[in-house]
């Protein structure tokens, strides 16, 4: 199972980084989403992988439990990355409508000429 989770994280991170480097808004949004999935699984596994264990201490038995903290952390991370993706989509759309281009990098000539106005 460790191998499966580790390779899933690795594949998603590699895909995310590749898409991020495309420097067009749509691939970059997808890339950041992939990266955030990868990091969510990564945080989740940082409390060690366990099967069939509840994240709650039981008062009445010796049942072992899995670490609850990464689950709380990952919940926070999911909410934040969801919100951030929504903001990113809106800003990309705004930039596309304003500039008529979905490129993320800004040419130096653009900077010198256009915004000098």
Partner 1 sequence: MSHWIILPVVLPAMLAPIIGFMMRHDIVLARVTSTFGTVLLLGISFVLLGMAMDGTTHIYRLGDWPAPFGIVLVLDRLSALMVTLTATLALMVLLHAMATGWDDRGKHFHALFQFQLMGICGAFLTGDIFNLFVFFEILLIASYGLMIHSGGRERMRAGLQYVVMNLAGSTLFLFALGTLYASTGTLNIADLAAKIPEIPADEAGLVRVAAMLLMIVFAVKAALFPVQFWLPATYSNAPAPVAALFAIMTKVGAYAILRVHTVVFGPGVAGTEGMIDAWLFPAAIVTIALGSIGVLGAKRLMPLISFSVVGSMGTLLVAVAAFSPVATTAALYYMVHSTFAAACLFLIADLVVSRRNGDSLTPTFATLQNGLFAAIFFAAAIAMAGMPPLSGFLGKLLVLDALRAPDVIVWAWTAILVGSLLTIVGFARAGSALFWKSTAIAAPEVAGDPVEPPSQANVAEVTPVMLTLAVLVALSVFAGPVASYLEQTSNQLFDRSGYISAVLAPVEER
| Residues of the shown chain interacting with partner 1 in the complex, contacts defined by CB under 8 A | 16, 20, 25, 28, 32, 35-36, 39, 42-43, 45-48, 69-70, 73, 76-77, 80-81, 83-84, 87-88, 91-92, 94-95, 98-99, 104-106, 110-112, 114-117
DSSP classification of residue 21: T
Nearer Cβ to partner 1, position 14 or 94?
A: 94
Nearer Cβ to partner 1, position 23 or 63?
A: 23
- Sole residue written with tokens 């480097």: 21
- Sole residue written with tokens 């040419």: 107
Do 64 and 56 meet the contact criterion of CB atoms below 8 Å apart? no
DSSP classification of residue 54: -
Give least dist CB 50 to partner 1, A.
14
Q: Which residues contact 71 (CB under 8 A, 6 or more apart)?
A: 44, 47, 55
Nearer Cβ to partner 1, position 61 or 71?
A: 71
């Amino acid at each position: 199972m460790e191998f499966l989770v580790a390779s899933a994280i690795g594949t998603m991170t590699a895909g995310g980084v590749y898409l991020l480097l495309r420097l067009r808004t749509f691939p970059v949004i997808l890339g950041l989403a992939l990266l955030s999935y990868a990091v969510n699984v990564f945080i989740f596994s940082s409390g060690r992988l366990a099967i069939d264990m509840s994240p709650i201490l039981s008062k009445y038995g010796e049942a072992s439990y899995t670490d609850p903290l990464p689950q709380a952390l990952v919940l926070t991370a999911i909410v934040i990355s969801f919100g951030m993706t929504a903001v990113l989509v809106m800003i990309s759309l705004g930039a596309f409508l304003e500039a008529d281009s979905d490129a993320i990098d800004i040419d130096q000539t653009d900077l010198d000429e256009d915004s000098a106005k």
